[in-house]
Amino acid sequence: MRIKSLFFILCLFCMNVFAQEEALTSALYDSYTVYKETSLNKRRIKHHELQPLITAYRKNPRFTVKTVGQSIEGRDLNLISIGNGKTNVFLWSQMHGNEPTATQAIFDIFNFLESTDFKEEKRTILNNLTLHFLPMLNPDGAERYQRRNRLGIDINRDALQLQSPEGRTLKRVRDSLQADFGFNLHDQSTYYNAERTNKPATISYLAPAYNYEKEINEVRGNAMKVIAFMNKIIQQYAPGQVGKYNDDFEPRAFGDNIQKWGTSTILIESGGYSNDVEKQEIRKLNYVSILSAIYTIAKGSYTDIPLEDYWEIPENDRKLFDLKITNVNYKIFDKPYTLDIGMNRLEVNREDYNSFWYSSRIVDQGDLSTYYGYETLDATGYTIREGKVAPETIKIPSQLDEQTIVSLLKNGYTYVRCTNIPKDWDSSPLPIHLIGKTFKVPEFLLEVGVNPTFLLEKDGAIAYAVINGFLIDLFDNSKALYFIFNNAMLFR
């Protein structure tokens, strides 16, 4: 009887602790706009944009800022620390230059930590922990919005050879801190989904293995418990949109080795979220979940979380398309076939690497019943029709207003010949392809690798157009085309 009573009291205690932390999470989420660093408002941030913020923290007595290394091209790598607790927590971001979501969230966290709000919670954090942040580990890659560093190597596969100065800096900092916890902050493809669901893996986690046997010691177990806690946080705001990476041991990877070296390592990957191209909602989820995790580490309450909760997180899968069309009729050699089509909108960097345009591709076709789409159209009863070149040539793109474009698409035209395409255009901002006066449109083929441009016809009328992988409903008058479309292609 006494054992049951003690168990009951312990359960009540755990429930009360989680309730307190859940209340903090809600408050963090609801107040986020107060702390969001507004100078970082787009994905493709550069090293120089961080420097005014870091300079300000150098002057702030609550923070310690140290230059701990340099990139190959000579950009400073800075470690920003706050707190005076015995437990060291080390967070590093943008090891891959085109994975910036958590870098932005780190500066949101700084704003939170230097504010006068949440005094009791911050006292708990900063008295028990010392937080160390190394934002933008790969600034040369960020400059070009590419995964690899200037040497052309993946820093996350450099933990053994330490060929890169960025990798050497990361190891040196980890070793000097002997960090108790490490947060390895990344972005993943937006095409990952939570296993066997149509939901994107908005956030994915991993407590990396430290050996081939994938054993669980106290160090790795603590990482698993914190991840299980963070999963509960994310489920409140993106239910069903959490995945878990396969934990096969990668002996060259920093995460696996940092776990091996004695730091409880938590990999966080920011994936996709509907209508969040710039990942600002995912940035917010990073901010909320990381701060909540830091708080549970400071209180030590993560230790009561059962390891089983980690294994309940579904595996990551990669079965999402930007656009999926199902059950569409397609004629080839005058014979009808029915198939599904999966299309992705692939980003093409502009010269300054600050922005991009889309060049879409058909990624797969056939039976895609086990795949999903951010946007899905059941095209039962519709037939694919090839788009033609409009008979009239225009002089300048401004001759095409929305009404004219809709009329052209309804009449089967997906290309317009233009004699004066602006020289600085790399794509068509209009929802129709623009071609030069001598360009010859290739033969229409529906196959993997080609640009998805075609029309959907039913009962003799064209109802939908697919232009560069964007679906346009030609009879939906509730939306202006320019607000639902990014760009078509331009062929000079």
Q: Could you tell me the pTM of the whole model?
A: 0.93
* CATH class for the domain made up of 15-317: alpha beta
pLDDT for 234: 96
Distance between CA atoms of 279 and 203, rounded to whole angstroms? 11
Q: What is the per-residue pLDDT for 6?
A: 43
CA 159 to chain CA centroid, nearest Å: 24
Quick one: average pLDDT of 67-96?
98
Residue 411 CB coordination number (10 Å) = 12
Position 14 scores a pLDDT of: 46
Extents of the domains making up the chain? 15-317, 320-491
Confidence grade of residue 253 (pLDDT, cut at 50, 70, 90): very high
89 to 37, 110, 178, 279, 463: CA distances (angstroms): 22, 14, 9, 25, 56
Q: Comparing 170 with 23, which gets the higher pLDDT?
A: 170
Question: Which secondary structure element, helix H or strand E, spans residue 244, and what is its range?
Answer: strand 242-244
Is residue 235 over pLDDT 70? yes
For residues 432 and 445, give the distance between their C-alpha atoms in angstroms, rounded to a whole number.
18
Half-sphere exposure for 222 (CA within 13 Å, toward CB): 18
261 near 184, Cβ under 8 Å?
no
| Amino acid letter, 247 | D
For the cut 60, the answer to whether the pLDDT of residue 3 exceeds it is: no
Range 315-333 average pLDDT = 97
